[in-house]
Amino acid sequence: MNGPQLIDLHFQETPGVIAAHVLDTGDGLALVDPGPGSTLDALEAGLNTLGAELSDVRHVLLTHIHFDHAGAAGTVLARVPRARVYVHGRGAGHLVSPERLVASATQIYGDQMDRLWGVMQPVDQDRLTPLEDGQTLRLGRAEARVLYTPGHAVHHVAYHIGDDLFVGDVGGVRLDPRQTPRAPTPPPDIQLDDWKQSISTLRVLDARTLQLTHFGAHPQEAAHWDGLLNNMELDASRIREGMERGQSFEAISEEYTEVLMAELAAEGIHLPARYEFACPPWMSVQGLMRYWQRQSVRSGRGDA
């Protein structure tokens, strides 16, 4: 296995939506963001295609703990006794005791939880390594530099391994090379100023390739980051304008979705349907509305 390999997890039977990445470290496999529990069979099948087994995994590197990235982590560790999981310290407690995380998601997804995400098993604290910004993990012959990259989530990290940057969601959603990246902004912790700072950190690193969970490998170049920043500002301003007009969530979401789908269709006729699986627009609206509400409260206190 030469270099990082992408495994398409075929989320909800849809290709090109959620990826896991696997590397041969010389000390077993490193798996970056194993995906949700509902796609574990696809993960195993992808490993088999690469001539490997789930039992070969030794290191599970999480960019953050959202279900589409980390939901399968506890199950992988339960099946592979020698594996460890790595996550930012602010997300570690939720992996050890995921009850609050599951309860919060259940309020959103209701009886669709199992179908969408499957089971999220707890992680044994003794098999979890909490991460800090700037530390280097030595995984066999591979070195992974940990970069704290909040904005999408307060516990988000990226990994710089050789020529590759594994950027989770802070690198945006880009399902096709022709698509301009978009920022996934679900609740609860979207913070755009932090996100912009994270982009400033990542874009100057000496790497050739961005490895995106949603989706695939893209060049580490200014055009990617500039497009993401421009769309982030555009989407945020659209939501704020709707709120300033006194529109309801439903009205803002409907209007935003219509415009977003039209813009995506102009970049690729297949993109709107896939994008809705990768990043449901209504969730991005929820997150940005929450962000602007919190900004308003801070301004009222004179904190902005």
Q: Give per-residue pLDDT as tens, 255-301.
A: 999 999 999 999 999 999 999 999 999 999 999 999 999 998 877 75
CATH pick for 5-221 out of 3.60.15.10, 3.20.20.140, 2.40.160.40, 3.40.50.300: 3.60.15.10
pLDDT value of residue 301 = 58
- Strand (E) or helix (H) holding 61: strand 57-61
- 143 touches 137 (CB < 8 A): yes
Rounded Cα distance, 223 and 250, in Å = 33
Evaluated on CA atoms 121, 125, 126, 131, the torsion sign reads: positive
Q: At 275, list the tokens.
A: 């994008």
Q: Are strands 209-212 and 136-139 parallel, antiparallel or unpaired?
A: unpaired
Q: Token match 């069979």: residue? A: 41
Q: At 132, list the tokens.
A: 């800090």
Residue 222, Cβ density class (10 Å: 0-12 exposed, 13-18 middle, ≥19 buried): exposed
Rounded Cα distance, 182 and 232, in Å = 7
37-55 burial code (b ≥16 CB/10 A, e <16): bbbbebbbebbeeeebebe
- 40 touches 51 (CB < 8 A): no
pLDDT value of residue 304 = 41
DSSP state letter for 187: S
pLDDT value of residue 113 = 87
pLDDT value of residue 23 = 97
- Please list the ranges in the chain whose pLDDT falls under 50: 302-304
User: In the chain, where are the structural domains located?
Assistant: 5-221, 229-300
Q: What is the DSSP string of 104-115?
A: HHHHHHGGGHHH
Under 8 Å CB-to-CB from 221, ≥6 apart: which residues?
Answer: none
Using CA atoms, how far residue 131 sits from 18, 90, 161, in Å, is 24, 9, 15
- Strand (E) or helix (H) holding 271: helix 271-278
Angle 92-98-103 from CA coordinates, rounded to 5°: 140
Three-state DSSP class for residue 85? strand
Q: What is the DSSP string of 130-145?
A: EE-TT-EEEETTEEEE
pLDDT value of residue 165 = 98
